[in-house]
Amino acid sequence: MGFLNDFKSFVMRGNVVDLAVGVIIGAAFGGITKSLVDDVMMPPLGLAMGAVDFKEQYIPLVVRDAAKKNYEDLKTTLKATANTRINTENFERAKTGQPLLPPVESVSPTLDQMNTAGVPTLRYGLFINTIINFIFVALGVFLIVKLMTMLQKAPPPKPTTPPPPTPTETLLTEIRDTLKEQKAH
């Protein structure tokens, strides 16, 4: 029974409960800041930088022959698919007299397509998202800690009147004053 009682007292201590609450709130706060960064901050920033989606920013690492071949095959397939779609569209446009669309000259595979094709990538866009997310989390935690410190500050102590002297102190004060009077005469 001693082990269970020790465990119960450990779990019920304020620090453990506070830590659990902090972890749960921290996880929820992390989700909020991730959404703030991904859904609110990054789209306007990407738009301001020329309709860039940071999540899709990467550098293909195609130094090896296999990776280079996978990358070229993926680009060739995507270009052929895009041009097939354009040819179909142009066929319909020709019937109605609309101007024809030009063929696709180059394609940029998405990050998912690169991963599916097995092409290694340096995902710097996701890294930028993570850095911005960290900055917002750190700022949020700082503001929460600052607010909690402000709320927990105790008001300055009120000046208190000193307690009345004890009977011994009163008697000693009277003796001192009497000696001073006798010395003065």
Tell me how many helices (H) and strands (E) the chain has.
7, 2
With respect to residue 73, please indicate whether it lies within any of the assigned structural domains: yes
53 and 135 share a domain? yes
With respect to residue 131, please indicate whether it lies within any of the assigned structural domains: yes
46 and 32 share a domain? yes
Cα angle 70, 61, 103; round to 5: 55
- Which element (helix H / strand E) includes 37? none
3 and 91 share a domain? no
Quick one: tokens of 30?
Answer: 């992390």
Each residue's pLDDT tens digit, 107-160 = 888 888 888 888 888 888 888 878 877 887 778 778 877 887 888 777 777 778
Per mean pLDDT, which range of 20-24, 103-107, 165-169 is the poorest?
20-24
* Number of domains within the chain: 2
97 and 117 share a domain? yes
52 and 76 share a domain? no
With respect to residue 154, please indicate whether it lies within any of the assigned structural domains: no
Report the predicted TM-score, pTM, of the whole model to 2 decimal places.
Answer: 0.52
2 and 80 share a domain? no
| Position with higher pLDDT, 12 vs 5 | 5
For the beta carbon of residue 164, count every other beta carbon within 10 angstroms.
Answer: 8
Name the residue type at position 63. V
CA 77, CA 84: separation in Å to the nearest integer?
Answer: 10
| Position with higher pLDDT, 178 vs 126 | 178
With respect to residue 181, please indicate whether it lies within any of the assigned structural domains: no
Q: Which domain holds residue 12?
A: 1-57+124-148
Q: What share of the chain is helix, strand, coil (3-state, %, to 5)?
A: 70, 0, 25
29 and 41 share a domain? yes
117 and 68 share a domain? yes
Where are the strands (E) in the chain, listed by range?
A: 59-60, 121-122
118 and 76 share a domain? yes
With respect to residue 182, please indicate whether it lies within any of the assigned structural domains: no
67 and 51 share a domain? no
What lies within 8 Å, CB to CB, of 83 at 6+ separation is 103, 104
**What's the chain's Rg over C-alpha atoms?**
37
End-to-end CA distance of the chain: 81
